[in-house]
Chain A
Amino acid sequence: MPDGAQPVLQVRGLKTVFRTRAGEVHAVNDVSFHLRRGELLGVVGESGSGKSVTMMSLLRLLPAPPAEIRSGEVLLDGRDLLKISDAELREVRGGKVGFVFQDPMTSLNPVFTVGMQITEALRRHMGLDKAAAETRAVDLLELVGIPDARKRLGAYPHQFSGGMRQRVMIAIALSCDPDVLIADEPTTALDVTIQAQILELVKELRRKLGMAIIWITHDLGVIAGIADRVMVMYGGQVVEQAPVRELFANPQHPYTRALLQTIPKISGEREARLKVIEGQPPMLAAVPAACAFRDRCEFRHDRCDRENPLRRPVDGKTLGQGHDVACHWQAPAAARPQEVAHA
């Protein structure tokens, strides 16, 4: 996608906390990013890194309480989603922004037909009558590759397999021609062959429909195959952000480098043990005054304990336009891991 395209979504300084009995959990800390029209942004990070919470905060989908969006702005076509009324927000949800969730087995309502669950959104946002909505629902189901679509409208979710249910979820998310599709680990709950099918489907739909996509995953292999740009999250912060080739070729953050080394390789020594990142992700109990990754970092030094690193451009471009990283440590050019080139 062209670099100069206007961002459809611009997030600045987003902070989300959860209020619990044990105190506040700072799940999202000052996250900023943008999404250009038609772009596919991959968001990577391990469980608890705040990637899902960030994306749900965009549409205020988190239950409040305990979740509270403390500050920041989420500009969709220049309009701040955190400031608009609930009624306006509901126009955006499912209308301008479609959402696909992780577990297709539980994300559909078990007591309503698939047809009803698709047409519900269509009638709500596009003002279609029952017949027109059903016609479009059939088209959508065919678009996502569900055979015998007209008949399947009357079927219930339990009559579909996991992969088929995720296709239905994608059909719902795409039903009202959204500008942005947020996919929250849409293939994690599926087995590998189905995962590949869904990935192909999304690639194809993107070609046909041209919406921007945010793809959340903890699988860098998936990202390598589909993303234009990658954002790595850790401890509720963006630690590195770069175009996909640049990130794989020239990872800067120790966490990103470690993540890349955890991808299992089919070629090479069989006896080599799968690399793991030692330690646990942080609990995020307070606004970090130090680097969140320092306990697991092999390049830790004094400054990491005193100061939370800010994002800085790596390649001299404006922050956010090219490659940036939030780390005090400067990766020497020679230290680039060679094996990641074919990861």
Chain B
Amino acid sequence: MLTYVLRRLLIAIPTLLLISLVIFFLVDLAPGSPASEIPLTVDAATRAKILESLGVNAPLHERYFLWLKQFFWIEPQYAIDHLFGTDLAQGAQRIISYSSRSPVFSIIAERLPQTLTVIGTAYAVAILIALPIGIYSAYRQYSWVDQLGTFVSMVGYSVPTFFTGVVLIVIFAVKLQWFPSIYDTTLKITDWGSLWAQVHQMILPVAVLGLYNAAEISRYTRSSMLENLGQDYVRTARAKGMGERVVVLKHVARNSMIPVVTIIALGLPGVFGGAIVTEQVFKINGIGAALIGAIHANDLPMVQTITFITAILIVTFNLIADILYGILDPRIRYD
């Protein structure tokens, strides 16, 4: 297993380098200039100086290698400095956003908590809802719970989040006025009242994203459970005198969870990627919103960095999913 993980990590290096190359060059090809965000009142000489200071005039390959060095060498040093109060970076040049002129990673650090709170909660809620529904639906196939669950997950899976989001806002925020339609990122949790306010404003976005993710996970859980419930070993377990709870939750669920865990692990990068659409609909100031804003503003370093982080996460969680597969299924050996 250890050799397998090491081998996979080594393979990940050229993979990620290739991805970084593609991302950097493709984004650089995009039309528009970083100068477009500078007000027109700024005169040409100053404009040229600003562009010079941003480093946009350097050749493409130079900018790429600088960015790569900053990403893998300088920014980690800043992170360590920040955490342990050391001074490894010694003021080296960080990746700077074209539009805000502040370090890209500082912006990400600011935005990440919003994304993790809302989207992460939605994902956790989705898993907690989806697993019991999927297991019960399969065990009582064609019962009314199963029919309802299957219908809701079909709807949840096929209707896009920007539509359910808007529908929920119209019904619960505009008509009924039960929930706010805009997520307030400045809210600080200091007491029970503000905690409640936070939970209150999270309900709609969590419901929208939770429905979508729960739909996907419960469908996988149900079909995986159904497949395993018909297996011979289930009959063996019953013939041994095991109770239904042990048969279903131990023997069948343990086998059914193998593909489901993989689906959950592969879905996690999406949490960090920030469910871009949902963040837009509910005006949540997270990573997704930062990415959309950066694209609009021709903020190339921001776009390149966020996209590349997402790519790293996808590669990482692919590896994690494969390792989990090996842990959960004793038939799979990686050595």
Contacts and interface: CB of A to CB of B under 8 A. Distances in A.
A264 B235 CA distance: 34
B38 to A, nearest CB: 61
A248 interface: no
Interface string B8-20: 0000000000000
A239 B237 CA distance: 32
A94 B241 contact: yes
B251 A109 contact: yes
Contacts of A103: 232
Contacts of A90: 241-243
A124 B240 contact: yes
Contacts of A120: 240, 242
A255 interface: no
A95 interface: yes
Given A107-B232, A112-B254, A59 B331 contact: no
A11 interface: no
A173 B241 CA distance: 11
Contacts of B238: 61, 93
B328 interface: yes
> Which of A59, A120, A172 has most chain B Cβ within 10 Å?
A120
Contacts of A93: 238-241
B31 interface: no
A240 to B, nearest CB: 28
A247 B255 CA distance: 46
Contacts of A18: none
> Which of A92, A94, A108, A111 has most chain B Cβ within 10 Å?
A111
Contact of B331 (A94, A95, A110): A110
Contact of B241 (A91, A106, A108, A112): A91
Contact of A172 (B232, B236, B251, B258): B236
A94 B328 contact: no
Interface in B204-245: 231-233, 235-243
A107 B241 contact: no
Interface of A: 59, 61, 90-95, 98-99, 101, 103, 106-112, 120-121, 124-125, 156, 158, 169, 172-173
Interface of B: 231-233, 235-243, 251, 254-255, 258, 328-331
